[in-house]
Amino acid sequence: MSDYQKMWQDLGMDMEQHDMLCQVLPSAVGDVFLSQENRPKSMDFWDLVISEVHGIRPAELIEEQKKGRKVFGTFCVYVPDEVVVAANGIVTGLCGGSQFWVPGGEAVLSKSTCPLIKASVGARLGKTCPFFRIADIYVGETTCDGKKKAYEILGEDVPLYVMDVPQMKRPQDIIKWKDEIATFAKKVEEFTGNKLTVENLNKAIHIINEKRKALARVYNCRKSKCLPISGRDALLMMQISFFDDPERCAKMCNRLADELEERIAKGISVVPEGTKRILVTGTPLAVPNWKLHNIIETSGAAVVCEEMCTGTRYFENLVDETKESLDEQFMALSERYMKTNCACFTPNRGRIDDILRMVEEYQVDGVIDCSLKFCCLYDTEKRAVSQALKAKGVPVLSLETDYTDTDAEQLRTRIGAFIEILNG
Amino acid sequence: MAKKFYILVENNTQGMAIHHLLDEKGIENHISPTPRLLTDEAPCGMSILLPHASLEMAQACLNENEAKYIKIASLDDPFEPKRDRYM
Ligand code: SF4
Ligand code: SF4
């Protein structure tokens, strides 16, 4: 990626440290993705993006900034992309998924903070990720305690706006979130210099809905007994959708879905018949966190669905496109976003219902419920997830991990034993 | 896992042109990050990965079409799916 050296220098990045991070990419991508046989041809787009992950998209963002557009960095699927897109802004997901950034976060955060937060803070403060350098403003949210405190620290270094996410899902909370979206819209207007109108917001709602529909098409193909794509490839597609241009993302996902549908019609599967089908649920898997999927899929099973924010929670439910005033549109946005079942809410029975539904829809043989270390919310919900699945006779394995490689062997042993049980 | 071949290129425009050309001729190839062992020989972060079976056809196709690239390099067994070295 040395043809991007000048861009990284101009972004004020720590070139030496960044080079160390880049060193690991080729072998990790090779081991996890390129070693697979019979991958869908359309994965070439995501292979290109990941090969040049700190080059191609950052360069595009900088070009857009030169035209006066603003880049908003976000950390949660509750932040409504539609509002930013309507004001001609650009959204880029910023959640950190690499161990490389964790020590930088640990320097300023409590040790007992989850690795996703540590990595996100470390990526900014360590100056080793172009996306964290490019974003003109970060948008945080009051979801978990760890993030709330981390935003205070990030806010010392970069403009930061925090959205106040409700903790419950009563009718008054949906109204509260609508009002919060309206207040955010004012901030976006002020920051971009562009006014929101019914027309531009409806257009943005449509764009993001089309992206959701395209992602859903790919996931629908994973419901087939003839599995046309690996979990690793689907995860890569999903992770990259957080920072790609939404219209191109929809186009590429639709292209992939066309190929997957054709594969199903021809009976082309990436795994032998009878391979056990796993649903993975829990905390998000931010790029380049591929450990869990890789271990499962090199232990003889296949991941067919992710009930997580880097999965179904990102695309399920559409926003009503028929509203005729900004107030009604904000309400429609609130209604859609408040259907996302995150462990930050209480109660969170909706997540259990989603998992049970997806077990049926994706013809799942077993569930792996995995949370990041120090994520007390998802860790606590494991009990309810496990009870509900056991009551339905669905085997479940609960795990906790972080971004290090050191527990890989232990994970292989536990996941291998689980798959052996599924194989009977 | 057998030997793998990498078409090293100057930039991703060159790389994508080769990818499309080989695709058009039905020659198996994949977009890959340039392996670290080869980055001294190529400035671009992406290269085109060829399985052994595609090598001769790819070479002939590149020559025939006068495609621009730096060189084709090879590596023994670059992939270890169970190496568990993540990023
Ligand atoms: S898990 Fe919760 S806090 Fe994290 S991205 Fe999802 S909705 Fe947001
Ligand atoms: S994984 Fe848990 S602790 Fe970490 S950011 Fe998400 S909700 Fe917060």
Report whether pLDDT(A288) > 60. yes
Enumerate residues 6+ apart whose C-beta is below 8 A from A111.
Answer: none
Percentage above 90 pLDDT, chain B: 83
Cα–Cα distance measured from residue A413 to residue A415, given in angstroms and rounded to the nearest whole number: 6
The confidence score (pLDDT) of residue A365 equals: 98
What chain A residue is nearest to B35 in terms of C-alpha separation? Answer: A26
- Facing B43 at nearest CB: one of A3, A48, A99: A3
Percentage above 90 pLDDT, chain A: 99
List, for residues A207-227, the tens digit of each pLDDT value: 999 999 999 999 999 999 999
The confidence score (pLDDT) of residue A396 equals: 98
Mean pLDDT (whole number) for A256-275:
98
Cβ–Cβ below 8 Å for B87 and A25:
yes
Indicate the residue type of A110.
S
What pLDDT band is residue A130 in, cutting at 50, 70 and 90? very high
Question: What global pTM score does this model have?
Answer: 0.97
What chain B residue is nearest to A47 in terms of C-alpha separation? Answer: B31
C-alpha R_g of chain A: 21
The confidence score (pLDDT) of residue B52 equals: 92
Total length of chain A = 424
List, for residues B23-38, the tens digit of each pLDDT value: 999 999 999 999 988 9
Interface test with B, best of A4, A51, A128 (most B CBs within 10 A): A51
The confidence score (pLDDT) of residue A3 equals: 74
List, for residues A316-332, the tens digit of each pLDDT value: 999 999 999 999 999 99
The mean predicted confidence, pLDDT, of chain A is: 97
Report whether pLDDT(B81) > 90. yes
Cβ–Cβ below 8 Å for B32 and A29:
yes
- Facing B85 at nearest CB: one of A22, A28, A55: A28
The confidence score (pLDDT) of residue B2 equals: 74
C-alpha R_g of chain B: 13
Domains in chain A, CATH or no CATH each: 5-19+53-423 (3.40.50.11900)
Report whether pLDDT(A403) > 90. yes
- Facing A288 at nearest CB: one of B16, B45, B87: B87
What pLDDT band is residue A190 in, cutting at 50, 70 and 90? very high
Cα–Cα distance measured from residue B21 to residue A331, given in angstroms and rounded to the nearest whole number: 49
The confidence score (pLDDT) of residue B78 equals: 87
The dihedrals phi and psi of A55, each to the nearest 5 degrees, come to -115, -65
The confidence score (pLDDT) of residue A390 equals: 98
Report whether pLDDT(A203) > 80. yes
Cα–Cα distance measured from residue A349 to residue A3, given in angstroms and rounded to the nearest whole number: 50
Weakest-pLDDT range from A14-23, A112-121, A366-375, A378-387: A14-23
Tell me how far CA of residue A145 lies from CA of A96, A149, A163, A405, in angstroms.
Answer: 17, 6, 14, 26
The confidence score (pLDDT) of residue A321 equals: 98
What pLDDT band is residue A265 in, cutting at 50, 70 and 90? very high
The confidence score (pLDDT) of residue A353 equals: 98
List, for residues A37-57, the tens digit of each pLDDT value: 999 999 999 999 999 999 999
Number of H helices, E strands in chain B: 2, 4
Cα–Cα distance measured from residue A92 to residue A97, given in angstroms and rounded to the nearest whole number: 15
The answer to whether A178 and A333 have CB atoms below 8 angstroms apart is yes
Ligand 1, atom 8, lies closest to the CA of A76
Give A408's contacts in chain B (Cβ within 8 Å).
84, 86
The confidence score (pLDDT) of residue A397 equals: 98
The confidence score (pLDDT) of residue A254 equals: 98
Weakest-pLDDT range from A159-168, A384-393, B39-48: B39-48
Cα–Cα distance measured from residue B57 to residue B72, given in angstroms and rounded to the nearest whole number: 13
The confidence score (pLDDT) of residue A99 equals: 95
Mean pLDDT (whole number) for B45-56:
94
Weakest-pLDDT range from A16-25, A192-201, A268-277: A16-25
Cβ–Cβ below 8 Å for B31 and A56:
no
For the record, the structure tokens of A134 come out as: 């490019």
Q: Check CB contact of A413 with chain B, cutoff 8 Å.
A: no
Cα–Cα distance measured from residue A423 to residue A276, given in angstroms and rounded to the nearest whole number: 7
The confidence score (pLDDT) of residue B41 equals: 86
Domain ranges of chain B: 13-42+56-75
Residues with Cβ within 6 A of ligand 2?
A 114, 116-117, 143-144, 146-147, 283, 372, 375, 377-378
The confidence score (pLDDT) of residue B8 equals: 96
List, for residues B51-63, the tens digit of each pLDDT value: 999 999 999 999 9
CB pairs under 8 A between A and B: 108
Cα–Cα distance measured from residue A104 to residue A153, given in angstroms and rounded to the nearest whole number: 13
